[in-house]
Amino acid sequence: MESHFSTLDWVILAVYFLVLASIGPLFARRNKSTETYFVGNRSFPAWLLGLAMFATSISSITVVAYPADAYKTAYLRLLPAFMLPLGIYIASKVFLPFFRRSRCTSAFEYLEGRFGPGVRMYAACSFLFGQIMRISTILYLVSLVFQQMTGASPYACIVVGGLVIGTYTVLGGIKAIVWTQFVQAFVLWFGAFLCLKTVLAGIDGGISTVISTALADGKFMMGDLNPVSGKLEPAPWVSFQEKAILMMFLCGITGWLTEYSSNQNVIQKYVSAKNPKEATRSIWICCFCSVPTWAFFMFLGTSIYVYFKLHPDEYANAILSGAAGAKAESILPYFV
């Protein structure tokens, strides 16, 4: 595949990866105890943890898959995101105070004390298996972007990305993770706004044209493609045979309650806050950043749909029709 990367692009990418990789050794020298390594001496402020948790929730699944979904279908899969505030509210009243009182560094530590090492081992292995599946998906989606823009092997992206992330995580502990994610949050926002600005610059009438065209084509509806006709149709409120609005809401609240009650990525951060009040603020900061960002990336996908409708492109049309094995996940890197 042809590379679209210039020498300057490669230099910027290399510097970015080197900076990330250097964070681990930098913080490794400061980790003098298990408490420091896992929870940073419970000294993090709300704003830092909140943005770190936000960056955790905004992975390549958001950056690549959300625009792809909005480009090809509509906004049905955004519905679970709207249940996050309810999940956060319940977590702030039930789960967060519980883990803060227990003074645990992980949910698994509590399980061992309450039920024994066997339960801890089972829960930890289950969590690790789930994370392996999640990280595999994230790295795969990143590799699609990398391959589309550089023409390089996706395997190289997966290996390099995995090594860099693994290096600063294992060496630096929670402090390296939190500060890296804090920086990545702003990198993400900057890149996202730059993408949208570029899309809108190529559309006569800008955002008003995007909205009017998308409304006319039903791109904002809570619906999905009909598997038979291939056309967008509104989703039913209740159904046991197809995706339904109520089902998406239930999936959302179930997922978020699971996330904030048992996911070590989240628990480890909010038990690292200075105090319970700061911990509560941190998860609300995460919520208020995450939901608009998810909606933003859906709108980005809709904007790309309008762009290619006004500027027809063979590959973009193939993605809509599913022809020649074209994957919707490649639409954002293809546009970029």
Predicted pLDDT at 324: 65
- DSSP annotation string for 12-47: HHHHHHHHHHHHHHHHHTT--SHHHHHHGGG-B-HH
172-198 burial string, b = 16+ CB within 10 Å, else e? bbbbbbbbbbbbbbeebbeebeebbee
SS3 letters across 283-311: HHHHHHHHHHHHHHHHHHHHHHHHHHHHC
Q: Which position has the higher pLDDT, 261 or 138?
A: 261
The pLDDT-based confidence of 165 (bands split at 50, 70, 90) is confident
Residues 252 and 82 sit within 8 Å (Cβ to Cβ): yes
**% of the chain with per-residue pLDDT over 70:** 97
Mean pLDDT of the chain: 86
The pLDDT-based confidence of 1 (bands split at 50, 70, 90) is low
Mean pLDDT confidence for 291-306: 94
Element (H, E) at 234: strand 232-234
- The architecture CATH gives domain 7-29+69-335: Up-down Bundle (1.20)
Residues 283 and 53 sit within 8 Å (Cβ to Cβ): yes
Is 70 exceeded by the pLDDT of residue 18? Answer: yes
- Where along the chain do its domains lie? 7-29+69-335
Residue whose token pair is 């490669």: 10
Mean pLDDT confidence for 209-213: 94
Mean pLDDT confidence for 313-335: 79
How far, in Å, CA of 50 to CA of 279, rounded?
Answer: 9
Mean pLDDT confidence for 124-129: 86
Element counts in the chain: helices (H) and strands (E): 16, 2
Segment 57-106, tens digit of pLDDT: 887 678 888 998 999 889 998 999 999 999 999 999 999 998 888 887 77
